[in-house]
């Protein structure tokens, strides 16, 4: 699969090429999908390398089409806002940073080493956004793996419902010093990533706050693929 990472491979092909029994191959593939090493290309469309495979070898950009589409748009927003702008996706049950632009100090800097896994389960606006758009079974697996945040399950579901309705996730870290905003990036109706803005919480007020929320939502819409 690594020789042609953009191609999809059917389960039968993988079983044949590896010499595994189809049932064994299916079990292994499902585990690798859950952990982010493979991803489903779509219903009955086979499998492709997932973000964790790219993360392990740091070989090019995962979802290069998405990153290439997002980068110029993100650069404009980072320059306009003068803040950090980030593109993320899910890698199995963890959040993966794909691209990060620093718009502070009067110029935009691209972090070429941005590809990395987030360390804390609930410490970002984008993970709350991804949770809000997960199906019930996937969300349950996430909670089983990471535990609940500092709230009850009922309170968690109420918060996630609010995020889905609002179309935006706003989060402050435990210290209260950093504010984070994230909006969903969609492809054909499915949430496949998120774009967000990070900044010191004291700057996330008034007109600047309204501008950040508006620009982040517009950025997500521009990067998304509707049809």
Higher pLDDT, 39 or 129: 129
* Residue pLDDT, tens place only, 152-182: 999 999 999 999 999 999 999 878 899 999 9
Distance CA 167, CA 217 (A): 8
What is the set of domains in the chain, with CATH numbers? Answer: 11-49 (no CATH), 64-223 (3.30.450.40)
β pairing state of 190-200 and 94-102? unpaired
Task: Report the candidate in 196, 204, 191, 139 with the shortest Cα–Cα distance to residue 168.
Answer: 196
10 Å Cβ neighbour count for 108? 18
Residue 57: pLDDT band with limits 50, 70, 90:
very low
Q: Which tokens in the block code for residue 29? A: 């593939």
pLDDT at residue 51 is higher than 90 = no
DSSP bridge partners of 67: none
Q: Where residue 99 falls among pLDDT bands split at 50, 70, 90?
A: confident
pTM score: 0.73
What confidence tens digit (pLDDT) does each residue in 23-42 have?
Answer: 888 878 877 777 667 777 76
The mean per-residue pLDDT over the stretch 8-31 comes to 80
Please tell me whether residue 171 adopts helix, strand or coil conformation: strand
């Amino acid at each position: 699969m690594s020789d042609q990472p953009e191609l999809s491979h059917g389960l039968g092909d993988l079983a044949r090429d590896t010499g595994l029994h189809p049932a064994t191959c299916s079990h292994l593939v499902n585990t690798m999908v859950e952990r982010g090493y493979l991803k489903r290309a779509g219903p009955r469309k086979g499998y492709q390398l997932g973000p964790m495979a790219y993360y392990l070898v740091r070989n090019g950009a995962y979802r290069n089409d998405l990153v290439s589409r997002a980068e110029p748009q993100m650069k404009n927003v980072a320059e306009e806002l003068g803040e950090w702008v980030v593109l993320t996706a899910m890698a199995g049950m963890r959040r993966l940073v794909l691209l990060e632009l620093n718009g502070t100090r009067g110029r935009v800097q691209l972090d070429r080493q941005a590809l990395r896994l987030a360390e804390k389960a609930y410490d970002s606006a984008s993970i709350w956004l991804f949770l809000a758009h997960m199906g019930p079974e996937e969300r349950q697996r996430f909670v089983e793996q990471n535990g609940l945040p500092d709230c009850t399950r009922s309170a968690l579901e109420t918060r996630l419902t609010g995020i889905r309705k609002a179309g935006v996730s706003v989060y402050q870290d435990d210290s209260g010093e950093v504010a984070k905003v994230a909006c969903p990036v969609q492809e054909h109706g499915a949430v496949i990533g998120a774009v967000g803005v990070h900044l010191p919480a004291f700057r996330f007020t008034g007109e600047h706050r309204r501008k950040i929320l508006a620009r982040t939502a517009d950025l997500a819409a521009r990067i998304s693929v509707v049809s």
